[in-house]
A and B are shown apart, each in its own frame.
Chain A
């Protein structure tokens, strides 16, 4: 785990002051109210918050799949320096194809029920014909091609040999299948060949979620977004998937944005945690720091709400009040109606994230 002392690099993804609204019949829902977030290379950043606080919306905005009635009011999303919000639909498509992959919450509804698994998984990898061609060429030259080598080819493409290589579609297809099977082994799916011939409904929930992760990996993304991927699974499967993610972390080293409402999941696997509330990021710090020294009142309340299995039996602590109405949110800091430390200033201005100590940012007065 990286600790807060090692941030020398520039963030690979930077969200600045993102404001996103939804126009609905009941009025404008101000879902994101100026989100600031930084994702550094090869780290796992967990975005934690209650339902409705805007974490999924943030992910959807990054990947460019907001629903029709949503629009971006303000803000920038910088990926390797370029603003994603200014890109065309085609450019965003390519972005999704090879740079950013997202895995969703419910593996049942997110898989096409009438297509076999091999079609669905292979199509992700077949998108990148160029890379596959390189793989076939390398394969013909006798090199071993598995998923890790395929990954490596992204950052270090093999040198162009002088010869013209004709690569048939059949070979590309065969290479795709080979790689897919390799990826499936990486996500620890038993009997990948048989699984490819099955339909989604023939598989269990855990298996389906693994295939979704496989589909994401096949694109060799620089950013991997996991949107509540364990929420729909039972606790035992949850544990397996988390374990898998930890292993993948070591092998693949992409930057991961993990979205969850479960602090314990975040604690398991994240390097840094960003806490969101009501459309804002209220605190960001390394996992250790968050748990040892939460600065934002919301964060500390969240932590207090986790039942402690070792402590003497006490009443469960909950956070008073309820989630703000996003159509008419409270003015100023959105947490102030429920905050024990609220002052007059909190009712007026919306605090921005300030770095309080190295690597620890809080949005509070």
Chain B
């Protein structure tokens, strides 16, 4: 089918997915007999019963669930995503979300870069020296990354690179927060803001703070990428055209770089799009451990508080990102593999 037909089909799917996700989350947080009352974020312990009732009516919690949903849909099309609860000072949900979103994006971006930079070579080495020592070593590294608990690895990094390094008198990396300095907000992206307002110290400081959490995040996914690259390379190296290339008398290095890699990396490269999307959504625990002011740890708090508005914003934004990422990945794949035509 034609390219635009394909895209339109996928966009319709996106709408459907968003709808389904919103319904599920809405029901879970507001309609389901839950352990956390849906109006809990809006009240505090000092309110009287009457005031609590007023709060409930003001936010519409007294109406039946499908009515609530309908109002919510109507509201979001007007741009009103509702208010967050007391835990976030009652600001509007999308304001809270988008203020912290850039931090998560930065973290994920950096983590993706690290993942690619380490994961792909690891996979290639594994494939070329299959079943020999380098393969075993990189296999252990890859699988260890894959098997590490997110909360544990972050902590380990903090312990070693922050605590012990300073104990031992070595230069150390900060363990939490985004930065100790402040700067004007231009784009909202701290790294860029620092550069734009000429405050390089801020940018640098923020970057330094970024290192440990990004590495922690990437350690887990680089193992996965390495395995995929390895499997892909092994598959390619078995092909007849590799034998053909060798029979031409080409140097082994040329065979691998020019013939094998181009074929093997197609699936891996396209996967990085999905990786980025997944890292975006999955950075929750890392942000929590490192107190990184991103959207993930906000979501964690929101879920604990039962704040349906924020959870909805979070879920929908990331669902959209994931579906979109899948679409982009499919298109890029078609671009890269000359055999697939649209």
Contact = CB atoms under 8 A, between A and B. Distances in A.
Interface residues of A, number: 28
B337 A123 contact: no
Given A114-B263, A115-B259, A115-B262, A98 B241 contact: no
A94 interface: yes
A349 interface: no
* Best-buried of A63, A110, A199 by chain B (most CB within 10 Å): A110
Contacts, number: 71
A341 to B, nearest CB: 40
B341 to A, nearest CB: 10
A63 B243 CA distance: 11
Interface stretch (B47-55, B106-114, B245-253): B245-253
Contact of B248 (A97, A114, A199, A201): A97
B168 to A, nearest CB: 48
A319 interface: no
Contacts of B247: 63, 65, 96, 101-102, 104
Interface string A71-85: 000000000000000
A110 B241 contact: yes
A63 to B, nearest CB: 6
B234 to A, nearest CB: 13
A312 B258 CA distance: 57
A65 B243 contact: yes
A127 B248 contact: yes
B2 interface: no
A123 B244 CA distance: 12
Given A113-B339, A114-B262, A114-B337, A124 B248 contact: yes
Given A106-B240, A110-B243, A199-B338, A219 B248 contact: yes
Nearest to A89: B252
A274 to B, nearest CB: 22
A34 B262 CA distance: 41
Given A123-B250, A199-B338, A112 B241 contact: yes
A111 B244 CA distance: 7
B195 to A, nearest CB: 39
A93 interface: yes
B167 to A, nearest CB: 51
A215 interface: yes
Nearest to A99: B249
Interface string B119-162: 00000000000000000000000000000000000000000000
B239 A94 contact: no
Contacts of B241: 109-113
Given A65-B243, A97-B250, A102-B247, 5 more contacts: A109-B241, A111-B241, A112-B245, A115-B258, A123-B254
Interface of A: 63, 65, 93-98, 101-102, 104, 106, 109-115, 119, 123-124, 127, 199, 201, 212, 215, 219
